[in-house]
Chains A and B, each alone.
Chain A
Amino acid sequence: MSGRARAKRVNRTLIAGLVLVGGFALAALAAPLIAPYDPIFQDGTARIQPPSLTHPFGTDNFGRDILSRIIYGARVDLQMAVIGVFFPLVIGTVIGAIAGFFGGVVDAVLMRLIDIILAFPFLVLMLSIIAILGPGLSSFYIAMALVGWVSYARLIRAQILVLKNADYAVAAVSLGFSWRRVLFRHLLPNSVAGSLVFCMSDAVLVLLSGAAISYLGLGVQPPTAEWGIMVAEGQAFLSQAWWITLFPGLSIVLLAFGFSMIGDALGEAMGVHE
């Protein structure tokens, strides 16, 4: 396919992805304006109502409006996806870059650390940290950051290992540039493309980890509206009230879809694949 036709397809995917994610971001920002109800208000007289005109997505077992909760939930979930990816990305990039660039002992030590973290059961870490710090978003972020950076570190390290032998890196060294300049100005910008693509699917994994933690009962503090916890709580009513789980579930899917489309487009544009 010609470059232009590819560019066009990339653009379409990118725009669709941005529209989806942007839509959720807008909903999150404008939540107080567009949400028809208070997301934590419990209406004892309207418990477990199927979707209707007054409650387009129905109500849950407390009589809370699910649409409003989804809109407010976008705030938490977007934040989770962004923060849950951002810190691992930054930490992993720096560590991976340093390991790959210096090699030798530094690399060997960091790689063993990475091996340990990879081999370390994620669940033990997650649950312990949540138990130590108490359930809530911050423990979630810390646990994600402690574990998540490993993937990025591996990606970046592999890239740097290849690139540091590239002629332009050797050229930079031969021109008397400091290692910081060589690594951070010349090598890093050329090696982050793969990680940026991976970010997008990672964001989805973060949301799902959050949902799994909610299932185990250690999700965010009630009565916070968060999609994962909504699905987890609603599953008790799965057979009698499908709408309690379906809509937040769909929201996760749509956001995931948006992210993966952005990822696909970025990947195609930068010529890298997951």
Chain B
Amino acid sequence: AGVLTIARNEDSTTFDPIKSAQNVDNWVFSNVFDVLVRVDASGTKLVPGLAESWTISDDGLTYTFKLRDAKFSDGAPVTAEDAAFSLIRIRDDKGSLWSDSFKVIDTATAADPKTLVVKLTGKSVPFLSMMALPNASVLPKKLVEGAAADSFAEKPVGSGAFSLVEWRRGDRVILKKNPNYWDAGKVSLDGVEWLVIPDDNTRMLKIQAGEVDAAITVPFSRVAELKTNPDLKVMSDPSTREDHMLINHEHGPLAKKEVREALDMAIDKQAIVEAATFGLGEVAYSYVPKGALHHYAENLQRPYDPAKAKKMLADAGASDLTLNYIVNAGKETDEQIAVLVQQQLAKAGVGVTLQKVDPSQSWDMLVNGDYDISVMYWTNDILDVDQKTTFVLGHDTNMNYMTRYKNDEVKALVEAARLETDPAKREAMYVMLQKLAKGDVNWIDLYYSPYINVTGKNIDKFHQNPLGRFSLEETVKN
């Protein structure tokens, strides 16, 4: 019982799920809204959500969902009509940030009030995983339709475990228990408050002073200190976050595989793990994060060897290489890594010019190719690896995540893997992709890191799944 107060570093931006692509919103969406299919706590399995069960036609084009008896927080029943409406809306609405991802849906119809039939335009294995996106939550058609959409975001009605009481922008989001939630018996909390405390120090002081029950996104640097506090529990949950260094394959010597290999060898990832994550992370070696589906544990790991790297660079005719490194301003770890990499590459005779830019601008520079190297990270939104694989290895319009990496064999394989329904074959294909990408050095994998959150001793089952969702319906405040 009781109200759980959680301190986070950013505020929500909206309560219309299709209009956000930010983690901060998803955290709250999954409290307030419900999806047809959910990802379990381990982050490796799809489990029933609003849909009790589902069947897939043999051609893989028709999905039939059987909805359970659930109600929205206003007491209205959740119908297949609502679900169909929500899927069409995320595909078609002008304000939707996700329409591209849902173009695969051809039709979504309610066969009866509890049966939803979705027809796809083509085969897509990841489709079911996409249903678990909080952005694809089922909304009450009646309240959202037409001109009411804007006001709906003000007073959202969902079928999640909690419902919105008030959103004081910039300060907090106040949720209360939703008595109409289909699994309400399991929910122990009376409510949840998401507080915004942007400054890391303040957030940590806030929990140390006992003014909140939980603080999330704990800086790695604070973990050791917080662990010594007997009143607090520091939790480290596995994540799908992977930090990597983008390389612009179109820039001069960087087009040569040998040069990229040399760079990979010149970077001491263990040192980065130590410095940036205080040893809490782990050296990365595949673009598929550890713990995610199809992660290939035996992938190649090039040893740290600056001397050899230097020689390889000389052999490749790139001995006096100078790289332009875009650093995202305001991100402490990014700056730390940049400084470290600069020093490490210097040992291999590579000069690095750091160029710190405001993060919003760095997107443009990366897209336009005005960079040589830059560090970014990716956290999976969905369970299936296809989303990331496509963006990173098989995508034309975003130039393979701004790297300009080109390998037709890889691209074909990405297409094929998306359609492969046999799990074993599919696994093999993704292993192959991981090897190929590593061999080509599409980018340099740096490290995997866990989610670190801290709660008071009296809080139980405060857990973040690898996709970043907090399942507060299970959390207990003693």
Contact = CB atoms under 8 A, between A and B. Distances in A.
A and B touch in the complex (CB under 8 A): yes
B274 to A, nearest CB: 7
Given A42-B343, A61-B275, A223-B339, A218 B358 contact: yes
Interface string A121-143: 00000000011001110000000
Nearest to A132: B361
A165 interface: no
B329 A135 contact: yes
B363 to A, nearest CB: 13
A174 interface: no
A41 B339 CA distance: 10
A222 B201 contact: no
Interface in B187-237: 200-201, 204, 219, 221-222, 224-225
Contacts of A216: 330
Contacts of A130: 358
A148 B311 CA distance: 52
Nearest to B221: A236
Contacts of A223: 339, 342, 354
A47 B340 CA distance: 13
B355 A236 contact: no
Contact of A222 (B200, B274, B339): B339
B75 to A, nearest CB: 46
Place the interface of chain B in its size category. 20 to 34
B339 A40 contact: yes
A233 interface: yes
B335 interface: yes
A222 to B, nearest CB: 5
A143 B361 CA distance: 19
Interface in A12-62: 40-42, 44, 47, 61-62
B338 interface: yes
A237 interface: yes
A239 interface: yes
Contacts of A217: 329-331
B355 A134 contact: yes
Interface string A230-247: 000101111110000000
B398 interface: no
The SS class assigned to the B binding surface is helix
B225 A240 contact: yes
Given A135-B329, A217-B329, A235-B201, A61 B354 contact: no
Interface string A211-223: 0000011100111
B281 to A, nearest CB: 15
Contacts of B358: 130-131, 135, 218
B357 A236 contact: no
B271 interface: yes
A135 B356 contact: yes
Contacts of B360: 131
Contacts of B200: 236
A134 B356 contact: yes
B336 interface: yes
A88 to B, nearest CB: 24
B275 A62 contact: yes
Contacts of B204: 239
A233 B332 contact: yes
A80 B358 CA distance: 21
Nearest to A130: B358
Interface in B318-332: 327, 329-332
Contacts of B332: 233, 236
A239 B330 contact: no
Contact of A42 (B222, B329, B340): B340
Nearest to A233: B332
B339 A218 contact: no
B227 to A, nearest CB: 12
Contacts of B275: 42, 44, 47, 61-62
Nearest to A61: B221
Interface string A196-228: 000000000000000000001110011100000
A79 to B, nearest CB: 18
B339 A221 contact: no
B336 A131 contact: no
A44 B274 contact: yes
Given A131-B358, A221-B355, A222-B339, A237 B331 contact: no
A222 B330 contact: no
Contact of A236 (B201, B271, B340, B361): B201
B321 to A, nearest CB: 20
A131 B357 CA distance: 7
- Residue of B219, B224, B335 ringed by the most chain A CB atoms within 10 A: B335
Nearest to A41: B343
B199 to A, nearest CB: 9
Contacts of B336: 61-62
Interface string A161-174: 00000000000000
A213 to B, nearest CB: 10
Interface in A222-274: 222-223, 233, 235-240
Interface of A: 40-42, 44, 47, 61-62, 130-131, 134-136, 216-218, 221-223, 233, 235-240
Report the 9 A-B pairs with minimum CB-CB distance, sorted nearest first: A217-B330, A223-B339, A135-B356, A131-B358, A217-B329, A222-B335, A240-B225, A222-B339, A221-B356
30 contacts: A40-B339, A40-B343, A41-B343, A42-B339, A42-B340, A42-B343, A44-B271, A44-B274, A47-B275, A62-B340, A130-B358, A131-B358, A134-B357, A135-B329, A216-B330, A217-B331, A218-B329, A218-B330, A221-B354, A221-B355, A222-B354, A223-B342, A233-B332, A236-B201, A236-B222, A238-B201, A239-B201, A239-B204, A239-B225, A240-B225
Given A41-B343, A131-B360, A134-B355, 7 more contacts: A40-B339, A136-B356, A217-B331, A218-B358, A235-B201, A236-B221, A236-B332
Interface of B: 200-201, 204, 219, 221-222, 224-225, 271, 274-275, 327, 329-332, 335-336, 338-340, 342-343, 354-358, 360-361
